[in-house]
Structure 1
Amino acid sequence: MTDRELELLRERALTALTTARRRTTLLTTCVDTPDLTAQHSPLMSPLVWDLAHIGNQEELWLLRAVAGREAMRPEIDGLYDAFEHPRAARPSLPLLPPVEARNYAAEVRGRALDVLERTPFAGDRLTDAGFAFGMIAQHEQQHDETMLITHQLRKGPVALTAPDPAPAPPFTGPAEVLVPAGPFTMGTSTEPWALDNERPGHERLLPAFYLDTTPVTNGAYQAFIEDGGYTDERWWTPEGWDHIRRNSVSAPLFWRREAGQWLRRRFGVTEPVPADEPVVHVCWYEADAYARWAGRRLPTEAEWEKAARHDPATGRSRRYPWGDADPAPEHANLGQRHLRPAPAGSYPEGESPYGVRQLIGDVWEWTASDFAPYPGFTAFPYREYSEVFFGPEYKVLRGGSFAVDPVACRGTFRNWDYPIRRQIFSGFRTARSAGDGAV
């Protein structure tokens, strides 16, 4: 590695860490102390837990694992171990108060930047190409997205603002595109900051299929509701039907019907549901039921990735739908730049070689696939990031959302959650096999 390459890697790591901390600061200073320490939903941690957990993970990996330093506060490790205490129980723990949590995270960061300057980015898998620093930046951004979800769940005004996405003309392109049969490379063995579940790259052979050009919109989803979609058992799996009946689910989370129109609550503001935006805050069961109602299905994870990454002209898999360049504002709605999805059909410069739009950003997209390891998977650097979640209990989501930072979003990036989860910024698009009749 040349001195210039090493300098560029350090700059990338520094930028990623600084960007994440700036966002963490925004999300934890826009509310008063009672809102920081309160639990706004049993599904989420108190914001102050996330803040100290971010600092603790940074200490564990950058100060202890990379630099070999002594623990700063070993007595708090258990408090901020996500596997030791479920979210619903965290408010009862003796958590660091907000000022102390901020000071701890800041002190860790100061020491971590010193480690960044001194660490050779070679010779060790944890530090090769700055992996540990990229892993920690991604971890912080993932918790920033979690904290943004908590802000959406909070009652009352939310002191977060962002400009709306640029208006877009109604999308007039084809409703679906054909992805021909053939092989493609799924996953990666070369992306330096890719996490263990994205590895290794391997060849997949898929039959031909059609995929929606854009995510399913609120307007399209309203048609499903108005056609009795939530009251017709035909469209639901047995587990999904049981779930919506027991929990009285009849529309996406945060929606309500009033005076003949659909309204939604978005970061403390009630507004009409915009028909042209991708639907968000639907669970896997809802996405699957809509697809069945429409005579279609959810795409598999492999189908989603082929549509997003495969370039039929060269036969190679790109980092992103638009190519190998890092995301820019013209490519995708990422990084909390906006607090809502952009209209369906936005970002033509971000479309894939097959002509599919908004595969990155806007809304996480549910797929039909269970979360499972790739052939040759090896847990690194710890089993608890991916391996303990493999199994049919979790469904895979792809593509990121408006709440995801580019450092934590790639064409190979995999997210997963229970099929009942709706508080996440989740939407979907549908697919059909090429042998099916046109819909």
Structure 2
Amino acid sequence: MTVAVDLPTRLAGVLARARARTTLLTDAVDDADLVKQHSPLMSPLVWDLAHIGNQEDFWLVRAVGGRRPVRGDIDDLYDAFRHPRQDRPALPLLGPAQARSYLAEVRAQVLDILHGTPLSRDSAPLTAGGFVFAMVAQHEQQHDETMLATHQLRRGPAVLSAPPPPVPDSGRVGPAISGEVVIPAGEFRMGTSTDPWALDNERPEHGVTVPAFAIDRAPVTNQQYLGFIDDDGYGRAELWSERGWAHRQAAGLTAPQFWERDSDGSWWRRRFGIRTPLRLHQPVLHVCWFEAEAYARWAGRRLPSEAEWEKAARWDPASGRVSRYPWGEAEPDRTHANLGQRHLEPADVGAYPAGVSATGVHQLIGDVWEWTASTFAPYPGFVAFPYDEYSAVFHGGDYRVLRGGSFGTDQVACRGTFRNWDHPIRRQIFAGFRLARDLSA
């Protein structure tokens, strides 16, 4: 029997899950590692740690609770727009012990505020349906995924561990779910206006007419990507856009990040301090948008638009309606998708038959973020809420949309409408892709 959980208790659990993950990621290394910058692309882990507390202090202690700041003197230090990542190690940051104490003090006040705040759907917009508490939990989980990427860039012995992902049944291994699904032309409802925890860039729901297209049933795998490498995909300028080719040359790209080739021709991958043989049926990981674009051209295909991706993920051809997740409305569990850092790598394609969409597409949620062809832009009727810096300031920039989440994404920050974005050169993120193609009229 399912026991109903009241909203404050549910939100307290979501916040606790995020904090447990933050603690795991920061307690896994010593203080020297916490304050070290492991890559100019990433903040020191101790910056992320205190930034998480500062956002919670601002939005929940001050904005919702109406209380004095726990540490109002550090707002500037942890303003992500004032200080680029490469500059943050030089700032007078809180030390590890100070940061942990700050987070604990903030959280103690937040739990008191949570249980005294009206959360009904007709409450103030910031608290209606528990939005701002869920927003803060999503923010922490997004930084947890960023810190996980920092762990991947970190050099040294492995400090993280997790069980391996599930293995597909023999009938669903790799090639068994190859091929594509045809999605017929027509309108579907994209985005949401009803999900109380959806962020501003997912809103509002609106009709989008999508021409008929075909989309791959599974993400591109390591084995498929090896075909591109073996056919000199990195050496053929005609496969790359002008910008992509310039970046490939400048960055010296020859394979996905963290791949290594031995003298005997075998391929290996470095994963969180462990060197392992390349698993052929895993989705390819740590490729930038330009690499995905070049592979698609080599394969005679293209990347899907984010509207195509979302229609394949949420639209049910039998009813014409959309669902929150590919499999329906049920919250994700370990049978649906590879989420929440349960595993430290993608699962082989075919490992989550319970997560297949109504259109017959696999692993749209979890495993790897999927690059799309779309630039990051607002939906018609977009309203920034509760602040411009979450989405609005990124509109019109050089960003490509990613969909679906990765093995490092928590379920609170992953749904069929969730939108992520990054620069087309980024490879440290847990990103792969799948292919699509136009259909003749």
**What amino acid does structure 1 have at the position aligned with 2:93?**
L
Give how far 1:297 is off. 0.1
* Separation in 2, partners of 1:350, 1:134: 24
**What amino acid does structure 2 have at the position aligned with 1:350?**
G
* Structure 1 SS opposite 2:398: strand
Give how far 1:271 is off. 1.2
**What amino acid does structure 2 have at the position aligned with 1:141?**
Q
The answer to whether residue 284 in structure 2 is matched with residue 279 in structure 1 is yes
Give how far 1:184 is off. 0.3
Give how far 1:158 is off. 2.3
Aligned residue-pair number: 432
1:151·1:158 contact (CA, 8 Å) conserved in 2?
Answer: no
* Separation in 1, partners of 2:152, 2:190: 34
Aligned to 1:370: 375
* Separation in 1, partners of 2:366, 2:227: 24
Give how far 1:174 is off. 4.8
1:360·1:401 contact (CA, 8 Å) conserved in 2?
Answer: yes
* Separation in 1, partners of 2:183, 2:8: 39
Relative to 1, partners in 2 of residues 1:174 and 1:257: Cα closer, same or farther, differing over 3 Å?
A: closer
* Structure 2 SS opposite 1:296: coil
* Structure 2 SS opposite 1:80: coil
Q: Kindly, what percent of the aligned residue pairs are identical? A: 63
Counterpart of 1:423 (choices 415, 422, 428) is 428
The answer to whether residue 426 in structure 2 is matched with residue 434 in structure 1 is no
Aligned to 2:295: 290
The answer to whether residue 272 in structure 2 is matched with residue 267 in structure 1 is yes
Give how far 1:347 is off. 0.5
Counterpart of 2:198 (choices 181, 194, 198) is 194
**What amino acid does structure 2 have at the position aligned with 1:25?**
T
Give matches, 1:33-182, under 5 Å. 33-122=31-120, 123-168=123-168, 169=170, 170-171=173-174, 172-182=176-186
**What amino acid does structure 2 have at the position aligned with 1:29?**
D
Give how far 1:392 is off. 4.6
| Residues 165-218 of structure 1, C-alpha deviations (whole Å, 9 max, x = no match) | 122232413510001111100000000100000000000001100000000000
* Structure 1 SS opposite 2:10: helix
State TM-score, norm by structure 2: 0.97
Give how far 1:12 is off. 1.7
Gaps in structure 2 of 5+ consecutive residues: none
* Separation in 1, partners of 2:210, 2:404: 20
Aligned to 1:28: 26
Give how far 1:71 is off. 1.4
* Structure 2 SS opposite 1:79: coil
Aligned to 1:352: 357
1:336·1:404 contact (CA, 8 Å) conserved in 2?
Answer: yes
2:301·2:435 contact (CA, 8 Å) conserved in 1?
Answer: yes
Q: Alpha carbon RMSD of aligned pairs, Å?
A: 1.1
* Separation in 2, partners of 1:173, 1:218: 15
Detail structure 1 runs of 4+ shifted over 4 Å in the superposition: none
* Separation in 2, partners of 1:73, 1:330: 42
Give how far 1:120 is off. 0.6
| Residues 273-328 of structure 1, C-alpha deviations (whole Å, 9 max, x = no match) | 11110000000000010000000000000000000000111111100000001101
Aligned to 1:329: 334
Counterpart of 2:415 (choices 410, 435, 439) is 410
State TM-score, norm by structure 1: 0.97
1:341·1:362 contact (CA, 8 Å) conserved in 2?
Answer: yes
